[in-house]
Amino acid sequence: MNRVESIELAKKLQDQFADLEKTEKDIKHYEEALEKPLRTFKYEPSVQGAGESAMKAIMIVFSILLFFVVAFYILLMAVVKDFASGGKGTYQGIALFVIVLLAVGIIIMNLVIKARRDEKEKRYIQEQQTNDETYALKKREDMRKELDALERKRDFLATELSAYNSLIPEKYRSRYYMSTVRMMLQSEKAKSFDEAIEILVQSADRK
């Protein structure tokens, strides 16, 4: 094998070892990711429910204002009626009873609205959790498929590179050392691939 052929071989092996090393790194990444527990949905009411919270506050304020306006009107009408009837206070008593009923009605209405909104929010959280778990499971399945493909690729590359085991000692079977061999050949420090490997081994023995 002449120097040009040796350079081509070193370049080929450099690329293959680089591909193998990257594949092994990707495999490790996927294995670590699959070992982690399934990530579930975490609902943040401060973000998701911001609009609904503002609407609740507006409705409460509106209910209070409406209550005072209606109560004032009822009392005013009662005072006018009592004054017109001779000041017996009958209409004021009825007015107070109506105001109490109105207040109770407004409280019940707000409680019903709150219960409905809470139920809607609960259903939303359940739907999001279901959707997120489905997505997470699909993503995990996709990762397993990708891991299987990477493992097959690693085995294929390892098989191809094993054909050069007799040329390259185990210690030097890496992208870094093949790059070093290539540079030695290009700079004419070695005339063949075998000579470049021999120089590497001798250099390591001297250290």
* Bigger pLDDT: 39 vs 9: 9
Asked if 75 and 99 count as a contact pair (C-beta separation under 8 A), the reply is yes
Instruction: Give CA–CA dist 99/103, Å, rounded.
Output: 6
pLDDT of residue 115: 81
Q: What is the pLDDT of residues 137-192, one digit of tens each?
A: 888 889 999 999 999 999 999 999 999 999 999 999 999 999 999 999 999 999 99
Residue 87 region by backbone torsions, left for phi larger than 0, else alpha for psi between -120 and 50, else beta:
left
Q: What is the pLDDT of residues 106-127, one digit of tens each?
A: 777 777 877 887 787 778 777 7
Q: What is the pLDDT of residues 40-61, one digit of tens each?
A: 545 544 444 545 556 666 776 7
The predicted model scores a pTM of 0.58
Domains in the chain: boundaries: 1-36+164-207, 42-140
